[in-house]
Amino acid sequence: MAEFDTPTAIVEATRRAYSEGYRRMDTYTPFPVEGLAEELHFRCARVPLIVLLGGVAGCLGGYFLQFWIAAIYWPVNIGGRPLNSWPMFIPVTFELTVLVAALSAVLGMMALNGLPKPYHPVFNVPRFALASQDRFFLCIEASDPRFDRAATRSFLESLSPREVNDVEA
């Protein structure tokens, strides 16, 4: 795991590592660095899909809840007005759409990110505490097919980092 000082350095290092053929790696930064996920060739398509599905479920569920209560379960005849008075059901349908979509955005994001995660090997490196403050880390994982303890270390050192550390699992 190599430590860098600036966002520019981490983006460049990630790009070099990718072109070197490393795939199972990750970067850790104190704020979202623009373009870094793209250097890892990572695309995020599932969060929007989950939110869309959540929104549709909330919308249909919300409307059906009211329709079922007002027209089937507990019909109240008020001067012969229609039981399925849909304009009056829009506000609650809307609120439930937003509620379920928002819940699925947050829970979906956390589930895809594997959070909460009480233990992760990167935290074994004492200097990693700076990843949430002002340093930028690139970690090449041992499970990468091209990983070789000595060669990977010397590759990371060639990127002129501040420090290179081994992560003990």
Partner 1 sequence: MAVDQLPPRIVDREPDIPPVIGPGHTFASVTDKISSIVLTRRTPPGWFVGFAISSLFVIALGFGVGYLLIKGVGIWGIDIPVAWGFAIVNFVWWIGIGHAGTLISAILLLLNQKWRTSINRFAEAMTLFAVACAGMFPLLHLGRPWLFYWLFPYPNIMNVQPQFRSPLVWDVFAVSTYFTVSLLFWFVGLIPDLATLRDRARSRAGQVIYGMLAMGWRGSARHWKRYEVAYLLLAGLATPLVVSVHTVVSFDFSISILPGWHSTIFPPYFVAGAIFSGFAMVLTIAIPLRKFYGLEDFITLRHLDNSAKVMLATGLIVAYGYMSEIFLSWYSMDKFDWFMTLNRIRGPYWMVFWSVMLCNVAVPQLLWSRRVRRSPRALFLVSLAINTGMWLERYMIIITSLSRDFMPSAWGRYAATVWDYVIFTGTIGFFVALMFLFVRLLPAISIFEVRELLPQAEVKEEEARS
The residues that touch partner 1, with contacts defined as CB under 8 A, are 6-8, 11-12, 14-15, 26-37, 39-40, 42, 44, 47-48, 51, 55, 65-66, 69-70, 73-74, 76, 85, 88-89, 91-92, 94-96, 98-99, 101-103, 105-106, 108-110, 112-113, 115-120, 122-123, 128-134
On whether the CB atoms of residues 144 and 24 are closer than 8 A, the answer is yes
129 vs 151, beta carbon nearer partner 1: 129
56 vs 110, beta carbon nearer partner 1: 110
Closest CA to 64 of 18, 41, 97: 97
Closest distance to partner 1 from the beta carbon of 24 (Å): 12
Instruction: Please identify which residue in the block is written with the tokens 């930064």.
Output: 29
Classify 3 as helix, strand or coil.
Answer: strand
Q: Which helix (H) or strand (E) covers residue 133, if one does?
A: none
91 vs 151, beta carbon nearer partner 1: 91
Closest distance to partner 1 from the beta carbon of 142 (Å): 17
124 vs 148, beta carbon nearer partner 1: 124
